[in-house]
Amino acid sequence: MSLGAAIAFTLSLQQSSLNVDARPKDDRGLIDGIVTYEDKRPVKGATVYAVPLGRPMLAIIPHAVTDETGYYAIHISRSWFGKFAVAAKKEDENFPDMSNQFYSDGNFQTATLSANHSAETVTIRLGPKAGVLAGTVRDAVTGATLYPCIELRRPNGNFLSGSGLVKANFRVLIPSETDVTVKMWLDGYSSWYYPGTADKSQSAPLHLGPNEQKNLEILLQPSAADPQLGCGMPVGTVVNP
C-alpha cells in the first residue's frame, strides 16, 4: 500500500471511529455531520444548532462545536423528537447564526427525528458572510457609556431586537447585500435611527457587503419627555417549519 493510500485509509478509520462513538448510546437521538467553507475546507470551531421547529423551546437549544475535521454531533432527547432547523455560525469570521431567520430568511437545512429514525446526518456549508456594524454608544452630554436596546429590521419584516447586543464597544453582524434599518433606544433618551437622527422620517437603511465594516460613534440625547419601553432579551422573527 502506498504512503498516500495508507494515510487516507487511516483517516477513514479515524472518522469512522468518531461516527461510531457519536451514535446514540442511550435513549437519545443524534444529528451529526460536517461543516465546511464554500471551498469545502473543514471548519474548526463553528457552533451548530438544532432548533426545534413548530414548538416552543424553553431550554437551551441543542448545539455542538466542530472539531479539527469540521465534525459535530448533537445529541437530542427523545422528548424533543420532531423537526429541527440545523445551521451553523462562526461569528469571529463574520459568519452569522443562520438558525436565526433574520440572517437566513428561513433558508436553512432541516432534520427530522422520530422513534423509527433517531439519527440523521446534515452537511453544512458556511456562508454568506455578513457585514459588521461596530462602534460605541454614549450619553451626548456626559459621555457615559450606554447600553441601549437595538432593533435591526429587513424589508421583508424579518428582525432582530433586544438588549445585550450593544456593549461598550459593540460589534453586530448585518446580513450582507440587503437593506437593514437600525434603531436604538433607551429610557430617558430620544430614539436614534441610522444614519444618525432622532427623526424616523429622516432615517435610511444600512447596506453592507460581505466583510464590510461600518464604524459609528453614537450619541444619545437625554430626553425626559421621551419615555421608552424596555426590550428584554434578544428576540427575532418566529422560525417556521
- If you count them, how many residues does the chain have? 241
pTM listed for this prediction: 0.82
Q: What are the backbone dihedrals phi and psi of residue 33, each rounded to the nearest 5 degrees, phi first?
A: 160, -165
What confidence score (pLDDT) does residue 54 get? 83
d(CA 23, CA 162): 37
What confidence score (pLDDT) does residue 155 get? 95
What confidence score (pLDDT) does residue 167 get? 87
d(CA 109, CA 124): 8
Chain segment 9-37, per-residue pLDDT in tens: 343 444 444 444 455 556 899 999 999 99
Chain segment 31-55, per-residue pLDDT in tens: 999 999 999 999 999 999 999 998 7
Chain segment 169-223, per-residue pLDDT in tens: 999 999 999 999 999 999 999 999 999 999 999 999 999 999 999 999 999 999 9
What confidence score (pLDDT) does residue 224 get? 77
Higher pLDDT, 98 or 224: 98
